[in-house]
Amino acid sequence: MPSTNLKHQVEQEHSSSEPNLKGTLISVSVVGGFLVLSWLAVFGLFLAR
Amino acid sequence: MIAEKTGLSKADSRLVMSFMWVTFISLLIGGLMGLLQTLVRTGNFNLPFGIGYYQILTVHGVILGLVLTTFFIIGFQFALMAKTVGMTNKQRKWAWASFWVMLIGTIASAIMILLGKASVLYTFYAPLKAHPIFYFGLTFVVVGSWIACFVNFHQLYQWKKKHQGEHSPLLAFMVVINMLMWFICTLGVAATVLIQFIPWSLGLVGEINILVSRTLFWYFGHPLVYFWLLPAYMAWYAILPKIIGGKIFSDSLARLAFILFLIFSIPVGFHHQLLEPGIDPMWKYIQVVLTFAVIIPSLLTAFSMFATFEITGRQKGYTGLFGWFRHLPWKDVRFFAPFMGMVAFIPAGAGGIINASNQMNQVVHNTIWVTGHFHLTLATTVILTFFGITYWLVPVLTGRKIDKKINTLGMTQTIVWLVGMFFMSGSMHLAGLLGAPRRSAFSDYQGSAQAAEWIGYQYGQAIGGSILFIGILIMLYNFFYMTFKAPKGVEEFPIAEAPDGSEPTPLVLENWKLWIGITVVLIAFAYTIPFVDIIQNSPPGSPPFEWPIGNG
Amino acid sequence: MHLHKYEKIWMASGVGTLLVFLIVLGIGAFYQGTQPPSCMVTLDPQNVQAHEAFKEENLGLQQLGEKEYTLNVLASAFNYNLGKDEDGNNVKTIRIPAGSKVMFQATTEDVIHGFQLAGTNVNMMLEPGYISTLETTLDNPGTYTLICNEYCGTGHHLMTATVEVYEE
């Protein structure tokens, strides 16, 4: 039985110790923001004309 | 022994180097044409010897868009396959066959263009008719690339026979995905060229069905741009991590992204035909939705890239929110050039989403904005990544090592390229929003006030174009230096590995029959009904028109 | 396949944004009448005059009602045929009162041309054998340049006309 606990424990450690990707989230959000803003800008142009 | 040290045998190196020579000769010829175009469009430069603007525009498009790209990609992919799954002598003979068939086709078409018999641009829309040899030449290029497809397929097939149950090397998997997509999509352009253009241009058939030929062309046209993009993604996913001293973020995600590209990049051709008559708007919208699906793997890639950089940086001990970013190897051109390509892909991707947005296409279709868009996607994101690859690939092929001098020159080239493209593509985007048309020589449009506004931007394009041409000259010097002058030595063939202890990649990702099946089903769904509808409601076809392009 | 928590956030918001774009476009196209130009009417490209709209006398601006017009245009390399005025000269400028609803109806009798009114959403391709139509309301007064934005030969950049939207 203990072996499964061990495996379970290892898995828990693995998932809880996800790499710290805060910088990544911020960077891709900046990219996402740019995509949305440029789309809205040209859509505004489409509605204005 | 040599194979172990430089990673590629003498024979493989000579093969790949031949593709590189055609690539960089094309860069010079096609780039010079581009420079002349920007000068002509300022309104105070006329081409000498009565050369036509649309003739050099055709050379620019064919030589850079079809020849440079296809030769670099197929050569680069032969290097990747030889390195990861090996290449037998028999396979190399067929690889040489693909090179010669493609080269003969390229020369044939190029001669017709230079004689002014094929000024139909690289999209060669009917009913403008070029000399039949032009179409035969393009057919040879496609057939040559098919030979390369089957060599690559055979290379992976043989490797898997010897490695039962093992995962194919990531790069080999990616090459085969790209070549599968290429083979499936070129069936469309081969069909229209062989069944429609060649008999029609030879006069064996009197009329050509315009909308059928355009639909078959654009069935090929969008996956063509992913055929250009995916080799850059191969370098980003599986080579850059090694250069920055890190590991692949996720082998499975990389394979998933490439599978999504295979599935979604073909059933989307109508987003190039949104403003054309004769196609049901419902099917245009359905293919717009499928086009938005092909954005997803690029979103996946953006996350994977930043994650790779952050994990590598943190493992090296850099902390804080962006410590990992500050300590990326900014001085290494093998990283700097592809990274700048990634940065350019942000405005490039934004433009792509706008272009494909159904009725919004009316704001930008066929304006110089579209030209600005693909000078970001292809002429910056893809080309800067290809240049970044060249700084290690050519030394590997010629048994030399890149030195401080070339690294500095490479950094300079990248910066010059970015500055030039900022002016040129920036001006193109702004002028496009004001309605300036693409594919047009200088014209004041009979004193139109709107046209007068565009001229300032056309000067901006000329400034950018001149800077870019300087960038081309620097890159050519770098290529010659690395081929002939760089010090002898062993340059690393940088292939990244997945981190040890990462989850095994699900085997379903290797199930080729499944993914090819889904690809075919999606194509059938997106095209069958509208294509049959187009054929059934076809008007009388068009006779060939030669006089508008200055022939006959 | 293990997805990092932030990756799930990024992909969910990314795909969500794309869906919002598609819904906005879909409603605009299918319910607010801004479909991209997709006329399904065909005709014989070598005999366009057989069709009512492209007979010589019907070319140019036709008034249908109060502030409602049709503009019939026959494109060929390298000219937009907008019919003739009273003293037989080729019409080069069309004058339309602001706020008018205009149906642009055009075709080509030789190669593919572009049909773009710079500065407006009027932008469509003209292909032999098909009629291209686009209906829009021209609210903003100004002088707009009609240009061919699809390569049609050596004189492609010379193909132009003018549409003046004037304040009444």
What does the pLDDT look like over B146-182, one tens digit per residue? 999 999 999 999 999 999 989 999 999 999 999 999 9
Q: Is residue B137 part of a domain?
A: yes
DSSP B107: H
The dihedrals phi and psi of A19, each to the nearest 5 degrees, come to: -60, 150
| Cβ within 8 Å of residue B267, ≥6 positions away | B287, B290, B522, B523, B525, B526, B527
Cross-chain Cβ contact B274/C128 below 8 Å: no
pLDDT in tens, B100-125: 999 999 999 999 999 999 999 999 99
Residue B552 has a pLDDT of 58
CA distance to partner chain B, nearest, from residue A1 (Å): 23
DSSP B64: I
- Round to whole Å and give the CA distance between B13 and B397: 5
Q: Is residue A39 part of a domain?
A: yes
Q: How does residue B4 score in pLDDT terms, banded at 50, 70 and 90? A: very low
Residue B2 has a pLDDT of 44
Q: Which candidate from A27, A43, A46 shows the least CB-CB separation from B306?
A: A27
We report the CATH number of the domain holding residue B470 as 1.20.210.10
CB C71 within 8 A of CB C61: yes
Q: What CATH homologous superfamily does C48-166 map to?
A: Cupredoxins -  blue copper proteins (2.60.40.420)
CB B401 within 8 A of CB B344: no
pLDDT at B525 over 70: yes
Specify the DSSP element, H or E, that contains B501.
none
Q: How does residue B6 score in pLDDT terms, banded at 50, 70 and 90? A: low
What is the reported pTM? 0.95
| Cβ within 8 Å of residue B103, ≥6 positions away | B22, B144
pLDDT at A5 over 90: no
Active-site annotation holds for B131: no
- Looking at B140, B374, B469, B531, which residue is catalytic? B374
Smallest CA-to-CA distance from A29 within B224, C12, B506, B263 is with C12
Q: Give the helix ranges, DSSP H, for B115-209.
A: 132-162, 170-191, 198-202
Coil, helix or strand at residue B500: coil
What is the mean pLDDT of the segment spanning B66-88?
97
CB B49 within 8 A of CB B40: no
pLDDT at B502 over 90: no
Smallest CA-to-CA distance from A49 within B286, C107, B73, B359 is with B359
pLDDT in tens, C69-80: 999 999 999 999
- Looking at B92, B334, B375, B429, which residue is catalytic? B375
Q: Which residues of A touch B364 (CB under 8 A)?
A: 42
Q: How does residue B339 score in pLDDT terms, banded at 50, 70 and 90? A: very high
Q: Specify the residue for token string 């109508």.
A: B270
Q: Is A8 exposed, middle or buried (0-12, 13-18, 19+ CB in 10 A)?
A: exposed
Q: How does residue A12 score in pLDDT terms, banded at 50, 70 and 90? A: very low
Residue B500 has a pLDDT of 85
Q: Is residue B504 part of a domain?
A: no
CB B6 within 8 A of CB B13: yes
Domain that holds residue B199: 7-499+510-549
**Region class of B325: left (phi > 0), else alpha (psi between -120 and 50), else beta:** alpha
Residue B7 has a pLDDT of 75
**Chain B contacts to A (CB-CB under 8 A):** 299, 302-303, 306-307, 309-311, 314, 321-322, 324-325, 346-347, 349-351, 353-354, 357, 359-360, 362-364, 433
Cα B194 from chain centroid (whole Å): 23
- Round to whole Å and give the CA distance between B22 and B34: 18
pLDDT at A7 over 60: no
CA distance to partner chain A, nearest, from residue C131 (Å): 24
Smallest CA-to-CA distance from B494 within B232, B245, B325 is with B245
Q: What is the dihedral of CA C69, C70, C76, C81, to 10 degrees?
A: -50
pLDDT in tens, C81-127: 999 998 889 999 999 999 999 999 999 999 999 999 999 999 999 99
pLDDT at A46 over 90: yes
Active-site annotation holds for B222: yes
For residue A40, the chain C residue with the least C-alpha distance is C21
Question: Of B82-86, B215-219, B497-501, where does mean pLDDT reach its minimum?
Answer: B497-501
Domain that holds residue A41: 21-49
Cross-chain Cβ contact C25/B285 below 8 Å: yes
Q: Is residue A13 part of a domain?
A: no
Residue B328 has a pLDDT of 97
Q: How does residue C1 score in pLDDT terms, banded at 50, 70 and 90? A: confident
Q: Is residue A30 part of a domain?
A: yes
pLDDT in tens, B349-368: 999 999 999 999 999 999 99
Q: How many CB atoms lie within 10 A of CB B145?
A: 22
Cross-chain Cβ contact A25/C9 below 8 Å: yes
CA distance to partner chain B, nearest, from residue C161 (Å): 8
Residue A18 has a pLDDT of 85
pLDDT at B41 over 70: yes
- Round to whole Å and give the CA distance between B180 and B178: 5
| Structural domains of chain B, count | 1
CB C144 within 8 A of CB C120: yes
pLDDT in tens, B47-61: 999 899 999 999 999
Residue spans per domain, chain C: 1-35, 48-166
Q: Is residue B85 part of a domain?
A: yes
